[in-house]
Amino acid sequence: MADTGRRKPLIIAVDGPASSGKGTVARTVALLLGYQYIDTGAMYRAVALVARERGISWDAEDAVAEVAAGLHFAFSFDGELLQVLVDGRDVTADIRQEHIGQGASDVSRHPTVRRALLGLQRALARRGGVVMDGRDIGTVVLPDADLKVYLDAKVEERAQRRHAELSAKGEVVGFGEVLEALRARDKQDMERPVAPLCQAEDAVFLDSTHLTIEEGVDAVLELAKARGAKAGGAGRLD
Ligand code: DC
């Protein structure tokens, strides 16, 4: 795109499967551009967490949708760590538990739950200057995004990353178990009838199997620059 000198902040959509690195890449790109980072997976995770705490089954669509519609979300940064507040409570650590990831995938199958979060997600992106990550951002939530990236990696590599993350947290889980859980989650997220995980036609495919986080970040920054983004945050964009 030609540089008109009146560059508007972009709307950037990053989709991909679990442990593809999309969260870290999207968050870092947002910091460097001075954009807001919005983690839509965290919203589904929070819905799963709160439903569980209220004794609501993840399969109970109506009751879970009611939870989703009633929650108030706030995101803030503590250094580079994204903090997620739900109804004023910090759920950052709680939503990252392994079983809550599965619960998020379960609750996200329900069309009414997705509908309850869609308006909020679109409203957060309305003014631009955002990097939003998830599964259906380029296809459903922000089909008119200025830049769409689909970040993927071989499932074995993603399982290795996840396994290393869990080990670092002191959680002892076998590699095979992590691999199987990821395969099951990919299948559920890709095969659901509503807003399944898939690459938007106009998304740029990035395979992160052999990329470091920094290389992934640089690739997305280059694409953003080509579409007119300029530095505004930590400002490494030349
Ligand atoms: O990105 P994540 O692993 O935190 O997401 C957790 C689950 O939430 C994921 O398995 C499916 C669901 N999800 C979704 O359906 N749509 C999104 N835009 C983001 C997440």
Expressed in angstroms and rounded, the spacing between residue 229 Cα and the centre of ligand 1 is: 27
Query: pLDDT averaged over consecutive 10-residue blocks of the chain (238 residues)?
Result: 64 97 95 94 97 98 98 82 91 93 97 97 94 98 98 97 92 94 96 97 97 96 94 54
pTM: 0.93
What distance lies between CA 108 and its chain's CA centroid? Answer: 13
| pLDDT, position 169 | 87
Which domains can be identified in the chain, with CATH numbers? 11-226 (3.40.50.300)
Which protein residue's CA is at the shortest distance from atom 12 of ligand 1?
Answer: 105
| pLDDT, position 233 | 61
Helix pair angle (213-226, 22-33), 10° resolution? 50
Ligand 1 proximal residues by C-beta, below 6 Å: 18, 40-41, 44-45, 101, 104-105, 108, 134-137, 185, 189
How far apart CA 162 and CA 179 sit, in angstroms, is 9
Expressed in angstroms and rounded, the spacing between residue 49 Cα and the centre of ligand 1 is: 13
How far apart CA 195 and CA 114 sit, in angstroms, is 9
Q: How many CB atoms are located within 10 Å of the residue 54 CB?
A: 11
Which protein residue's CA is at the shortest distance from atom 5 of ligand 1?
Answer: 41
| pLDDT, position 1 | 47
Q: Which residue has the tokens 């519609």?
A: 69
**Which is the closest atom of ligand 1 to the Cα of 136?**
18
> Is the distance from CB of 130 to CB of 11 less than 8 angstroms?
yes
Q: How many CB atoms are located within 10 Å of the residue 141 CB?
A: 23
How far apart CA 205 and CA 201 sit, in angstroms, is 10
